[in-house]
Amino acid sequence: MPHERSAGERVRVLLTEGSSTSAREAITALALAGHAVSFCDPEPVCLGRFSRLVAGRYQCPPLGTDPQGYRRFVRDLVATGRFDVLLPIHEQGYLFARIADEIAPHAALALPSFESYARLQGKAGFSRLLTELGLPQPRTDLIEDHRQLAGLARYPFVLKTDLGTASRGTWLIRDPAAQARAVAEIGKAGPPGGPILVQEWVERPLEQVQSVFRHGRLVAFHATRRLIEGAGGGAALKESVRRPRIAADLARIGGHLAWHGALSLDYLADPDGVDPLYIDANPRLVEPMAAYLAGLNLADLVVRISLAHASLDLPGTDVLETHPGLRSRLALQALLGAALRTPSRRAVLRTARDLLRRRGDFVGAEEELSPARLDPPSVVPVVGAALALLVRPERADALARRNWGRHLLTPHAARLIRAMDQPDVAHRG
What are 160-175's pLDDT values in tens digits?
A: 988 776 556 788 899 8
Q: What value does the mean pLDDT take over residues 19-41?
A: 97
- Angle in degrees, CA 4, 6, 8, rounded to 5: 140
Q: Which of 61, 88, 109 is the last residue of a domain?
A: 109
Q: Percent of the chain beyond pLDDT 90?
A: 72
Residue 418 resides in a domain:
no
Mean pLDDT of the chain: 89
Same domain (yes/no): 316, 373: no
Q: Which of 267, 294, 325 is the last residue of a domain?
A: 325
Same domain (yes/no): 377, 279: no
Residue 277 resides in a domain:
yes
pLDDT at 163: 79
The pTM of this model reads 0.91
Residue 411 resides in a domain:
no
Residue 403 resides in a domain:
no
Residue 114 resides in a domain:
no
Same domain (yes/no): 224, 274: yes
Same domain (yes/no): 228, 266: yes
Same domain (yes/no): 270, 194: no
CB 18 within 8 A of CB 57: yes
Same domain (yes/no): 275, 168: no
Tell me which of 397 and 147 has the higher pLDDT. 397
Predicted confidence (pLDDT) per residue in 226-277, tens digit? 999 998 788 999 999 999 999 999 999 999 999 999 999 999 998 877 899 9
Residue 85 resides in a domain:
yes
Phi-psi region of 110 (alpha: psi -120 to 50; beta: other; left: phi over 0): beta
Same domain (yes/no): 175, 222: no
Same domain (yes/no): 351, 388: yes
Range of the domain at 65: 12-109
Specify the number of domains making up the chain. Answer: 4
For residue 23, what is the domain's CATH number?
3.40.50.720
Same domain (yes/no): 233, 338: no
**Rounded CA gap, 329 and 235, in Å?**
8
Residue 213 resides in a domain:
yes
Same domain (yes/no): 315, 211: yes
Q: Which of 109, 127, 148 is the last residue of a domain?
A: 109
Tell me which of 154 and 218 has the higher pLDDT. 218
Which residue in 87, 130, 422 sits closest to 266, CA to CA? 130
Res. 151: pLDDT tops 80: no
Same domain (yes/no): 211, 256: yes
For residue 317, what is the domain's CATH number?
3.30.470.20
Res. 386: pLDDT tops 50: yes
For residue 150, what is the domain's CATH number?
3.30.1490.20
**Rounded CA gap, 391 and 263, in Å?**
39
**Rounded CA gap, 392 and 379, in Å?**
20
Residue 424 resides in a domain:
no
CB 212 within 8 A of CB 288: no
pLDDT at 234: 87
Predicted confidence (pLDDT) per residue in 125-141, tens digit? 999 999 999 999 999 98
Same domain (yes/no): 337, 275: no
